[in-house]
Amino acid sequence: MSPAVFLVSLFLSVPVAIVLGITAIWYIWESGNTILYDSFAQKMFGGLENYGLLAIPLFMLTGELMNEGGMTRRLVGLARVFVGGFRSGLAYINLLANMFMAAIIGSATAQIAVMSRAMVPAMKEEGYDEGFAAASTAAGGLLAPVIPPSMMFVIFGVLAQIPIGDMFIAGIIPGLLLALSFALVITLIGWTQNFPKSAWMSKGEAMRAILASIPAMLVPVAIIGGILFGIATPTESAAVASLIAFLVGWLFYRDLDPRKLGEMFVRTAANASMILFMIAAASVFGWVIIYEELPQKLAGLITSITADPFVFLLIVNLALLVVGMVIDGIAAIILITPILLPIATGSYDISPYQFGVVACLNLVLGLLTPPVGIGLYIASSMSGASPGAILKSLWPFLIAVALVLVLLSYFPLLSTYLI
């Protein structure tokens, strides 16, 4: 009966955290093991007793501070220095700026919102199709869950009980591979549709843009460098990055008003609390998974179909594509990790890092695919383009992501080589 409660409440659009809690309560009552009610609150609180989870609000705060502090504009200027003079130059600038922002924000929805405001009007003014401008910006948001830092990687690392820093490192090569595939898509479309060719900056303009961006680049350097060289944990790197973002935006660029800190703290707390509540609810939902032996039953079913790890990951990819279309990516990773990860590592000897990269990238695709597609609607509202027009221009990027997912599934070294 509890699976029916889970599915019905999910399709009634009940918030996922509430769905998980209700299902757990129903299962305890149905099983007669009501003594579990006594430890219900303790189990929820215990799910949040993880130092790594502090990185989530800190990375969110860093993104808020960078946006308010004018750093996004400087990073776009830096991208223009390197790729601005090519055909489809502004589209390449969009992609490169998205890479810079992915190394700071860590959230696809936040990145799509920020970059849509910054890039789509400029691309429309230069003669790009409105749908393509919004689609390329939305696709660039898919880099956020893969290029470190990534909130989905933080959550997966906590659930999988693996070092979050190593999970971040596992995303570097896949993130670069995804960015290269998007660059190839832009090149091919630019040739066929004869996109405008921008002018290169003069030496003076380029030097000014580079110098103006150096303080902003301190943030991704602090995050990725601190983790790569073992100087700081992801949580400590996030704290340092938020401090740097505040000081640079306030004292150097002078775009950040300290009086707005209260509003940013409230927004950060509200957004982070939703994610943390889902993680807490997932802890009690774990009772259902444990007592129903879902991983064992599913492992028996899948291993009867195939013994090949690659085929298993293809099956998982297809299943997650469907899941991601109806459930938010963060909620989905919380749901599927306790069920599928034990099968991947136990029955197929798949690295948890490879599985995490594949699952996180796959699930974030749901941001841009109907019927939910919240990233699609964010890009639409920020750009003025209709969701249909964006989706029409988006499909080459989605195909590129699908091909990258196949490569990541077939070659484990793409995810594990740097660890």
58-97 tens-digit pLDDT: 888 887 888 788 887 788 888 888 877 777 788 888 888 8
What single letter denotes the amino acid at residue 222?
A: A
Only one residue has tokens 């996030």, namely: 238
Nearest CA to 151 out of 280, 224, 58 is that of 58
Contact partners, residue 283, CB within 8 Å, separation at least 6: 43, 44, 46, 47, 48
Nearest CA to 334 out of 285, 301, 271, 269 is that of 285
Contact partners, residue 81, CB within 8 Å, separation at least 6: 201, 206, 209, 210
pLDDT at 261 over 70: yes
What mean pLDDT comes out for the span 141-157?
85
How big is the CA angle at 131 (ends 128 and 137), to the nearest 5 degrees? 85
What are the distances in angstroms from CA 385 to CA 93, 144, 186, 367, 398? 20, 22, 19, 17, 18
Q: Quick one: pLDDT band at residue 350, thresholds 50, 70, 90?
A: very high
Question: How far apart are the C-alpha atoms of 56 and 68, rounded to whole Å?
Answer: 19
- 342-354 per-residue burial string, b: 16 or more CB within 10 A, e: under 16: bbbeebbebbbbb
Question: How far apart are the C-alpha atoms of 292 and 262, rounded to whole Å?
Answer: 45
pLDDT given at position 141: 85
What single letter denotes the amino acid at residue 262?
A: G
299-342 tens-digit pLDDT: 788 888 888 999 999 999 988 888 887 677 787 888 889 889 99
383-403 tens-digit pLDDT: 788 888 888 889 999 999 999
How big is the CA angle at 65 (ends 63 and 66), to the nearest 5 degrees? 65
Helix and strand numbers, DSSP H then E, in the chain: 22, 0
> What share of the chain has pLDDT > 70, as a percent?
98
What single letter denotes the amino acid at residue 123?
A: M
Only one residue has tokens 């990375």, namely: 59
What mean pLDDT comes out for the span 180-196?
88
Rounded (10°) angle between helices 329-347 and 352-364? 150
What mean pLDDT comes out for the span 364-381?
78
Nearest 5°: phi and psi at 396?
A: -60, -35
**What is the three-class DSSP state of 248?**
helix
281-305 tens-digit pLDDT: 887 877 777 777 777 777 788 888 8
Contact partners, residue 210, CB within 8 Å, separation at least 6: 78, 81
Task: Give the CA dihedral 176, 361, 355, 281, nearest 10 degrees.
Answer: 140
pLDDT at 1 over 70: no
Are 55 and 155 within 8 A, CB to CB? Answer: no
pLDDT at 140 over 80: yes
90-128 tens-digit pLDDT: 888 888 888 877 777 767 777 887 788 778 888 888 788
pLDDT given at position 276: 84
Q: Quick one: pLDDT band at residue 412, thresholds 50, 70, 90?
A: very high
Task: Kindly report the number of other CB atoms within 10 A of residue 130's CB atom.
Answer: 18
Question: How far apart are the C-alpha atoms of 90 and 95, rounded to whole Å?
Answer: 9
Nearest CA to 62 out of 204, 205, 237, 203 is that of 237
Are 256 and 68 within 8 A, CB to CB? Answer: yes
- Eight-state DSSP code of residue 201: P
- Eight-state DSSP code of residue 163: -
**What is the three-class DSSP state of 255?**
coil
Q: Say if residue 148 is preceded by a cis peptide, omega within 30 of 0.
A: no
